[in-house]
Amino acid sequence: KAGVTQTPRYLIKTRGQQVTLSCSPISGHRSVSWYQQTPGQGLQFLFEYFSETQRNKGNFPGRFSGRQFSNSRSEMNVSTLELGDSALYLCASSVDQRTDTQYFGPGTRLTVL
C-alpha cells in the first residue's frame, strides 16, 4: 500500500506570496493532519480534517488554512507569506477518528525569501 504523499517536495517563495501544499493520504485513511516543523519550535500541530470537516486547529494565524476533499486528499494554504513561515510542512493520515496511529508523509520544504 502506498504511503502518504506530499507535493511539491520543495518550494521557494517570496514574502507576500501565497502557497498551496497538497497531501494524499494512505488509501482508506479519512483523517489528515498537518504539522509545521522549524528548528526553533519543533513539530507544531496546524489542523486536522476528517470527512471534509476541520476538527482541530492549532495556534496559528488565519493566514494558515486548509481543506479536505471527498476523496480525503487535503490541501493547506498559507497566504501573505512571511520569512518565519519557512519550515518543513508535514502531513499525516490515520484511518479514522478512533484510530490515533498517524502515518507521516515526507514533507514539503518551504523556503520564503
Binding site for another protein (CB under 8 A): 4, 31, 33, 42-43, 45, 48, 50, 55-56, 58, 88, 90, 92, 94, 97-98, 100-107, 109
Of 13, 30, 21, nearest to 83 by C-alpha is 13
Q: Which is nearer to another protein, 24 or 102 (CB)?
A: 102
CB atoms within 10 A of CB 53: 9
Q: Which is nearer to another protein, 31 or 78 (CB)?
A: 31
- Bridge partners, residue 40, by sequence: none
Q: Which is nearer to another protein, 90 or 112 (CB)?
A: 90
Least distance in angstroms from the C-beta of 16 to another protein? 26
Least distance in angstroms from the C-beta of 70 to another protein? 19
Q: CA triplet 11, 13, 15: central angle to 5 degrees? A: 150
Compute the distance between CA of residue 113 and CA of residue 56 in angstroms, rounded to an integer.
30
